[in-house]
Amino acid sequence: MKKTVKLLSPAGSMEALKTAYRFGADAVYLGGSFMQLRAKSAGFTDDMLQEAVSHAHALGKKVYVTLNCFAKNEEFDKIGDYARFLYGIGVDAAIISDIGVISAVKAAEPRLEVHLSTQANCQNYMSARLYHDLGVKRIVLARELTLPEIAEIRAKTPATLELEAFIHGAMCMAYSGRCLISSYLSGRSGNRGECAQPCRWNFSLMEEKRPGEYFPVEEEDGFSAILSSHDMNTVDFVDQIVDAGVSSLKIEGRMKTPYYIATVTRAYRMRLDGADPALCARELDYVSHRPYSSGFYFNDEKYTPYNDGLYHQEKRVAAVVLGWEKGILTVEQRNLFSQGDMLELLAPGLPGEGFVVEAMTTLDGESVTRAPHPRQILKIPCAIPAAPGDMLRMDYVQ
């Protein structure tokens, strides 16, 4: 596979950012304190952003900051100062959807690299050319494009314009940024980062004059999740996306846990580096996900039922490694585990190695048989070398 392709992971926290880099991301994208599309997340403060950039650049990695809300008039007074701040601390690019924000950023700080957000729905080469003329360096392509359409955009746009595509994660049931269901049903605008995800709700079909009489459009007991999209998974054909002309591969999930980020980033990193596709695909079953699909890449218009409307997950994180010395792991608990459990070390590279928890002690030297306390520090005998930032995972039992 081409060595120039870059892997881009999400980060909703400093821990997630460091995890993404450790497990193979070339860059991360994150939200700052201004105009990000994750209103439930406080985002990275200005001080945190500076720390994130310093950490990334020390590793030879990059940081992209999202400014992908559709702007209101009063927000333009702040955009110029924020753009200058981002460039001043070394942010590698701003991801923007609003054409007015692109113009304002370029006027205030023309040296700040701009990437077009997928929220702008760029689906053809003419639009891509126009955005390039406006100073956009990279297009994050609409998820609705097929592989041949991406290849045509690549062939008909300047070589200096980079293309980025999503390869994994949640998908919107509408064109990104154009769904109004959340605003209508809950008063929360998806275009302002407040989407209530009503497409994930359970719906029933009922005629208003026949209350309680449901028509048989259902997947479970009296309801259907037919608006709820499958998750995208391209690990089996990610090489075809690269061959279509994409130079940056993007993982969705700024609200995901560090364990999710570690597992998914590692799977795609190893796939890009030539690991067995089947092994990489198996890894992606170990995180919480909806049923997988290939998205729109193959123009498959056949409806695939969302069979159970539930998340699937085979493993969960047990602890995060703080250190390893002379056969003893120091870990910080993340979920309950006990003496006798089989744990697997999750570290950069595949496959993971497992071991049985034969004993546990607290920092005070007290022997314990269970680890029920959140973030409790424990010591565990383990012959497998590990490094800070690695994780221990276990089978997920509901």
Higher pLDDT, 339 or 175: 339
**Does residue 223 have a pLDDT over 50?**
no
Half-sphere exposure of 170 (CA within 13 A, CB side): 17
Look at residue 222 in the predicted model and tell me its pLDDT: 45
Identify the helix (H) or strand (E) that includes residue 58. Answer: helix 46-58
Give the CA diameter of the chain: 73
pTM over 0.85: yes
CB-based contacts of 190, cutoff 8 Å, min separation 6 = 177, 179, 180, 182, 183
Look at residue 284 in the predicted model and tell me its pLDDT: 94
303 falls in which pLDDT band (50, 70, 90)? Answer: very low
Look at residue 319 in the predicted model and tell me its pLDDT: 98
DSSP assignment of 326-389 equals TTEEEEEESS-EETT-EEEEE-SSSS-EEEE---EEETT--EESEE-STT-EEEEE-SS---TT
Higher pLDDT, 261 or 306: 261
Average pLDDT over residues 81-86: 97
Residues 171-184 as b/e (b if ≥16 CB within 10 A, e otherwise) read bbeeebbebebbbe
Q: Which CATH class is domain 315-395?
A: mainly beta
User: pLDDT tens-digit profile of 16-68?
Assistant: 999 999 999 999 999 998 876 555 555 799 999 999 999 999 999 999 999 98
Average pLDDT over residues 372-377: 96
User: pLDDT tens-digit profile of 147-201?
Assistant: 999 999 999 999 999 999 999 998 776 667 677 777 767 767 666 666 667 666 6
Look at residue 229 in the predicted model and tell me its pLDDT: 74
347 falls in which pLDDT band (50, 70, 90)? Answer: very high
DSSP assignment of 188-241 equals --GGGT----GGGS-B-EE-TTSTT-EES--SSSS-B-TTPPPEEE-TTTHHHH
Report the distance separating Cα 183 and Cα 110, nearest Å: 35
Domain boundaries, the chain: 6-172+229-293, 315-395
User: What is 6-172+229-293's CATH number, 3.40.50.720, 3.20.20.380, 3.30.70.100, 3.40.50.360?
Assistant: 3.20.20.380
Select the highest-mean-pLDDT range: 219-223, 299-303, 326-330: 326-330
With pLDDT > 90 as the criterion, what percentage of the chain qualifies?
70
Look at residue 398 in the predicted model and tell me its pLDDT: 65
CB-based contacts of 208, cutoff 8 Å, min separation 6 = none
Token readout for 276 is 């067995």
Phi and psi torsions of 220, nearest 5° = -125, -160
List the single range of 27-31, 51-55, 121-125, 306-310 with lowest mean pLDDT.
Answer: 306-310
231 falls in which pLDDT band (50, 70, 90)? Answer: confident
Report the distance separating Cα 240 and Cα 227, nearest Å: 28
The rounded Cα 223 to chain-centroid distance in angstroms is 29
Token readout for 52 is 């994130």
